[in-house]
Amino acid sequence: MNTPIWDDRDWRPLPKLTGPQRADVCVIGLGASGLAAVEELVSQDVAVVGLDAFSVGAGAAGRNGGFVLAGLAKFFNETVAQFGEEAARTLYRLTAGEIERQAEDMPAIVRVTGSLRIAADADEKADCAKHLAALRYCGFAAEPYAGPEGEGLLLPTDGVIQPLHRVRAVAQRLRQREVRLYEDSAVRKIVPGSVVTDKGTVYCDSVIVAVDGRLEQVLPELAGRVRTARLQMLATAPAPEADFPRPVYYRQGYEYWQQLPDRSIALGGFRDHALGEEWTADDFPTERIQALQEKFLRQHLKVRAPITHRWAASVGYTPDGLPILEEVRPKIWAVGGYNGTGNIVGVLGARAAARLACGQTSAWAGALAKAREHARRAGREF
């Protein structure tokens, strides 16, 4: 069993690339980030071809927890401390704005419900207070929370998403505009001026590699700067005995769950209980992590509904917590390493890469550059 709960509709496959194609830009990866890059390029009348080794949303874009969260993977107080207030403010503002944009664009798929950060112990409760103070100081909405889930924070601008529906809806919208998108077209070689697959070649001026998990395999020069990990999840049948109106982050985000509109539960977590095993490109669930998740489901969440789905996904992590966005070779751009929060960060990063590939500026890219420079200077002072 390795099918996410999100995969509940038929999908008419895209064609496979055969023969030569000519484009200004070739985008590799048709998840949320790759499709965002394609959309941005199309909006600027740039000729683009998009490729995926499997199918639209087959990777983490269609297999994640369905959270849309403002900010980076680290909590806001940590982001301020590590990367500086100016960059942290900008990154948070841009991600919150993207959540609002997506909810307006696809209200049936992206819902602003707020999210909860629930403390697992006294130390984390103290950190929640720091998190709250940092958000309020910078003018962002947040409230202390105490309720059935526990104590912590309410973040009212966050929400949830049906991730696979979203990427398929974007792909369908592009397909209706006759944008050239190809599935089952694994890239075998990226060289200046062309991208080679098993059955075809895209001749192009620039390339955007929008891949999160296994990014270091596609672009070996990123090995050591991004590392692939496995995230595992399970889901249940409708659970009327449970009531979680908002998605929940628990124990520093190592556990996370939401209750879907049909009242089923989607739950992930416990990667830190087997880090040696979970740093892997293997994307199949394991008995060890699934057993921990099931125990938490039954004992902590008190959910009795039967488990209907178990699945895993490959995602990219970076040592400093900042996503990858850079020109790794001349006219070859990479985006990835979203540290488990790619639904929003990935879209903004890929859109930025598309703009940079066209010789334009990007507020997102500028904020990431400021964050890296702040961290570099702080490190040098130690």
pLDDT over 70 at 320, yes or no: yes
- Over range 203-213, report the average pLDDT: 97
**What residues form DSSP beta bridges with 208?**
27, 333
Question: What pLDDT shows up at residue 342?
Answer: 96
Using 50, 70 and 90 to split pLDDT, how confident is the model at 378?
confident
Q: How much is the mean pLDDT over the chain?
A: 97
- Alpha-carbon gap, residue 355 to 366, rounded angstroms: 12
The one-letter code for the residue type at 299 is Q
pLDDT over 90 at 8, yes or no: no
- Alpha-carbon gap, residue 207 to 28, rounded angstroms: 8
Using 50, 70 and 90 to split pLDDT, how confident is the model at 382?
very low
Q: Provide the 3-class DSSP secondary structure of residue 361.
A: coil
Cα–Cα–Cα angle for 257, 237, 310, rounded to 5 degrees: 65
pLDDT over 80 at 295, yes or no: yes
The one-letter code for the residue type at 330 is P
Share of the chain above pLDDT 90, in %: 97
- Alpha-carbon gap, residue 70 to 93, rounded angstroms: 8
Domains identified in the chain and CATH numbers: 19-63+163-225+321-381 (3.50.50.60), 112-161+228-317 (3.30.9.10)
> pLDDT per residue over 301-316, tens digit each?
999 999 999 999 999 9
pTM equals 0.96
Catalogue the long-range contacts made by 83-86 (C-beta closer than 8 Å, 24 or more residues apart).
83/322, 83/370, 83/371, 83/372, 83/374, 83/375, 84/370, 84/371, 84/374, 85/138, 86/370, 86/374
Check residues 247 and 192 and name the one with the higher pLDDT. Answer: 247
Using 50, 70 and 90 to split pLDDT, how confident is the model at 381?
very low
Share of the chain above pLDDT 70, in %: 99
- Over range 97-123, report the average pLDDT: 98
- Alpha-carbon gap, residue 101 to 120, rounded angstroms: 32
- Over range 53-64, report the average pLDDT: 97
Question: What pLDDT shows up at residue 9?
Answer: 78
DSSP codes, 24-56: EEEEE--SHHHHHHHHHHHHTT--EEEE-SS-T
pLDDT over 80 at 380, yes or no: no
pLDDT over 90 at 197, yes or no: yes
Using 50, 70 and 90 to split pLDDT, how confident is the model at 379?
confident
